[in-house]
Structure 1
Amino acid sequence: MSLDITLCEAAWMARDPAYDGAFFVCVRTTGIYCRCVCPVKPPLRRNVEFLPSATAAELAGYRPCLRCRPETAPFCPAWKGTLAIVEKAARLIKDEGALDGDGGNVEALAARVGVGGRHLTRLFRRHLGASPIEVAKTARVQRAKRLITDTDLPMTDIALQAGFGSLRRFNAVFREVYKRPPGEMRRGRQGNLNAVRQLGAHRGPAIDGLAVDDEGAVADGV
């Protein structure tokens, strides 16, 4: 997909929520990608590139920011009209897990949106910079990350609910994307919550100026 770099720069510098999910900010010096609304101090422009999707960022070797949590970004496609078919297919992948499990394949997905599998793949590569299969992989990891962060479900249940065929596959893909196992991510979250509770017990109910992200990795988004 050909992004309007000037528009991306303006939206990024303004942290414009209207473009949240329309593109992602990739920082070469840290290997991290962020939403345009990330609250962390922006890096130098020369260290940044813009990519059209979370999947494209991960294929380029970037890992998700733990501060702005790209997995929570709204799906905000930058095209309409005749290419609304790509939006529809991507939503089926993200919201319904259309490519998860034994019954999920690109031909079946393409049939649901009225095109052939090869044509759908070409459209995805043109506008998202990734294939439907690659987009589905990112969607599964994002579901898993939300469940790890926002629930206390055991990892086996998370793997199944996120659309992975096995716990082993879940562990391997999650480590590939986040560069750490899911259990470590969960322990980091629990450790931060305990630290905040202990600090609150010493200082009282109000903790002015305290800003702790869900993973304790504020620097990870810089």
Structure 2
Amino acid sequence: MARRKRTPSSTRTELGNLDIAACERARVSRDRRFDGRFFSGVRTTRIYCRPVCPVRPAKAENVSYYPSAAAAERAGFRPCLRCRPETAPFSPAWKGSLATVERAMRLIARGALDRATVEALAARLGVGARHLSRLFDKHVGASPGQVAKTARVQRAKRLLDDTELPMTEIASLAGFRSLRRFNAVFAEVYKRPPSDIRRRLRNV
């Protein structure tokens, strides 16, 4: 992981390819043009958000910036239940600069690592697994496996929000191999079980 860099405003980023000043302006103004291009984590709450989050913006000195949801989760932040990071548009910060990474992200979003290995994914892309992992660490801030985990949890969260499907079916459709694994990973990311999320939605 790249060393965190301080800026004059004390905001931080995990990767040097984010324009921190632009991210800060977009976060405070809720600029929709930046939705999906970065995520911000708040140290005081340990929650990460989209730039368009309706919650009152946190103080700049408490905010870190990440190029992907997986990178924010890797750093120990959980998804915001207000702005729903799982619904952010797919618009990686490096788009247009690294075709291999972009293609890999799209394949992972479609479930490429739900039943296959990183080695198999790398072979589809015509690169080695180690090289692919290095590219992900540099440009995404997380490994392919971590990105795949985030993608599965995000699929599950959308199904919880938008359907009345039973948990076993949600787990299967989201790409988890068992209900037990689904419950464990979901609770790890959201710090609460999926059943709590569904109860919360029904009580709104």
TM-score (norm 2): 0.89
Greater relative contact order: 1 or 2 (C-alpha under 8 angstroms, separation 6 or more)? 1
Secondary structure, aligned partner of 1:40? coil
Q: Which residue number in structure 1 is paired with residue 5 of structure 2? A: none
Which of these two proteins has the greater Rg computed from alpha carbons?
Answer: 1
Distance 1:75 1:48 in 2: 22
- Give 1:49's aligned amino acid: S
Q: Which has the higher helix share?
A: 1
Distance 2:189 2:94 in 1: 27
Q: How does 1:1-222 map to 2 (within 5 A)?
A: 1-2=15-16, 3-94=18-109, 96-101=110-115, 104-192=116-204
Unmatched 5+ residue regions in structure 2?
Answer: 1-14
Distance 1:126 1:163 in 2: 26
Q: Deviations over 1:72-117 (max 9, x none)?
A: 00111122445121011001101x200002xx11111112222111
Q: Deviations over 1:50-81 (max 9, x none)?
A: 11111111111111000000000011112244
CA RMSD of aligned residues (A): 1.1
TM-score (norm 1): 0.82
Distance 1:87 1:145 in 2: 23
Unmatched 5+ residue regions in structure 1?
Answer: 193-222
Answer yes or no: is the 8 Å Cα contact 2:68–2:92 preserved in 1.
no
Secondary structure, aligned partner of 2:76? coil
- Give 2:113's aligned amino acid: L
Moved more, 109-118 or 78-87: 78-87
